[in-house]
Structure 1
Amino acid sequence: MLVVGFPVGAFQANCYVLAPGRGQHCVVVDPGQDALDGIAEQLSEHELTPAGVLLTHGHFDHVYSAEQVCREHGVPAWIHPDDRYMLTDPAAGIGPMGQQLLGDLSAWPAPPEVREIADGDVIEAAGLRFDVTHSPGHTGGSVLFGAGTDEGGRLVLAGDTLFAGAIGRTDMPGGDHGQMLRTLAERVLPMDDEVVVLPGHGPTTTIGRERAENPFLQGLATPDGSAS
């Protein structure tokens, strides 16, 4: 599997491009601010053709360029229904303080085709399969996209649910810290240590590393009653 990630925009959100290999179809994950040049560079370098856009949640720094990518390539975007409203009302997801910091965020059009996803869904696109896990906490519609690799391993596109050494903030509209802790305990900690985490910001990590070192995971009990 070909996996390329690069930070974009003022908040350095990670945009990812995944494909079975060079010269094939691909999916674009979280095309945020100023992502278009980076996406075009990867498409050209690896001779890729987009088949769809996956959105881990609706915050503008992860969806800013989704409409243009979808429109230019004639592909759908997948997002959880609880975050769909932010595709056309980005200011609603950041609250008054964020709006003051960033200035006017005018509404913009949603991608031409938006497909809603739910917990347990499987998305098949570009010859790849992604398992959808609803992971509310950072936003109400945050999701994890899990996929197997050619080598037999697994990766998870975690959005802003889990970072290396941290988790996504929960103090913006739609955030819920208690729900985030439940998501971490019930959805994240049961994953195998070897699962590679591709987060929405910052460097790649693994579930095992975060289980051992991430202070936000310490002391959380998994559904079987064991503690991290």
Structure 2
Amino acid sequence: MLVAGFPAGPLAANCYLLAADEGEACVIVDPGQEAEELLERALRQYRLTPVAVLLTHGHFDHIFSVTPVCDGHDIPAWIHAGDRALLSDPARGFGPDAAEFFGGRLELREPNEVRELADGQQLEIAGLTFTVDHTPGHTGGSVCFRTGAEEGGRLLLSGDTLFAGSIGRTDLPGGDSAQIMESLRAKVLPLPDDTVVLPGHGSPTTIGRERAGNPFLMGLSGGDAPAFPTRGL
């Protein structure tokens, strides 16, 4: 599997490209602010053809470039219904003072094709299998994507649900501290320790590392382990 990523924009939101190999179809995850040029450079470097955009949630630093990227390549965007409204009105994710934060009203529009994600859904895209876990808490429509293989190479694209040494903030509209803790307990902690976590900000980590050292996860115990997709490596 080919995995490439880079931080984009003032808030350094991580954008990822995943493909079976160089020269193949690929999936783009979270094309945020100032991501277009960097994306096109990576697509050329690895000779990739994008076939879909997956969004972990609807905050503007993760979705800002989704419409030009999707419409420019004639591909769909996938997002959970709980965050779909943020595609066209991102200020809803930041509360009544958002206009000042953005320096005025920030007007965006949905891509031409938007498809909605569901908890437990499996997406067969670009020769890879992505399992969708609805993980509300940072936003109402936050999701994580699992992909990889049972024996080595497991990946979790965690968005802003889990970071190295931290978790997503819950003080913005749609955030809920009890929900994010339950999402982590039920959907994230049960994953195998060797699962590599690709977060929405910051450096990669592993489930084992976070289970042992993330102060926000202390005292949580995972539920039954969700089934892991077996295709992709």
1:127 aligns with 2:115: no
Q: Which residue of the partner structure matches residue 40 of structure 1?
A: 40
Quick check: 2:152–2:194 contact (8 Å CA) kept in 1?
Answer: no
CA offset at residue 103 of structure 1? 1.7
Equivalents in 1 of 2:149, 2:13: separation in Å?
23
Of structures 1 and 2, the one scoring higher in RCO (CA 8 A, sep 6+) is 2
CA offset at residue 101 of structure 1? 2.7
Q: Which residue of the partner structure matches residue 160 of structure 1?
A: 160
Q: Which residue of the partner structure matches residue 85 of structure 2?
A: 85
Quick check: 1:4–1:17 contact (8 Å CA) kept in 2?
Answer: yes
Amino acid of the residue matched to residue 104 of structure 1? Answer: G
CA offset at residue 106 of structure 1? 2.3
Q: Secondary structure at the match of 1:96?
A: coil
1:157-209, Cα deviation, whole Å (9 max, x unpaired): 00000000001100001000010111111111111100000000000000000
Amino acid of the residue matched to residue 88 of structure 1? Answer: S
| TM-score w.r.t. length of structure 1 | 0.95
> Any unmatched runs of 5+ in structure 1?
none
Equivalents in 1 of 2:207, 2:148: separation in Å?
15
Q: Secondary structure at the match of 2:217?
A: coil
Q: Which residue of the partner structure matches residue 24 of structure 1?
A: 24
Equivalents in 1 of 2:136, 2:103: separation in Å?
27
Q: Secondary structure at the match of 1:95?
A: coil
CA offset at residue 105 of structure 1? 3.8
CA offset at residue 109 of structure 1? 1.3
CA offset at residue 54 of structure 1? 0.2
Q: Secondary structure at the match of 2:26?
A: strand
Amino acid of the residue matched to residue 83 of structure 2? Answer: D
Equivalents in 1 of 2:150, 2:191: separation in Å?
19
Equivalents in 2 of 1:29, 1:121: separation in Å?
17
1:102 aligns with 2:85: no
CA offset at residue 153 of structure 1? 2.4
Amino acid of the residue matched to residue 36 of structure 1? Answer: E
1:40-95, Cα deviation, whole Å (9 max, x unpaired): 01000000110000000000000000011110100001000000000000110112
Equivalents in 2 of 1:40, 1:206: separation in Å?
29
Which deviates the most, 62-71 or 97-106? 97-106
1:9-43, Cα deviation, whole Å (9 max, x unpaired): 11000000111111111010000000001100100
Matches within 5 A, 1:31-70: 31-70=31-70
Matches within 5 A, 1:200-211: 200-211=200-211
Quick check: 1:90–1:105 contact (8 Å CA) kept in 2?
Answer: no
| Structure 1 stretches of 4+ moved >3 Å | 149-152
Q: Secondary structure at the match of 1:116?
A: strand
> Any unmatched runs of 5+ in structure 2?
225-233
Amino acid of the residue matched to residue 96 of structure 1? Answer: P
| TM-score w.r.t. length of structure 2 | 0.93
Equivalents in 1 of 2:180, 2:139: separation in Å?
9
Equivalents in 1 of 2:166, 2:97: separation in Å?
22
1:12 aligns with 2:12: yes
CA offset at residue 150 of structure 1? 9.5
Q: Which residue of the partner structure matches residue 223 of structure 1?
A: 223
CA offset at residue 149 of structure 1? 4.6
Amino acid of the residue matched to residue 51 of structure 1? Answer: V
Which deviates the most, 145-154 or 62-71? 145-154
1:104-160, Cα deviation, whole Å (9 max, x unpaired): 242211011000010010111111110000000000000010001597421010000
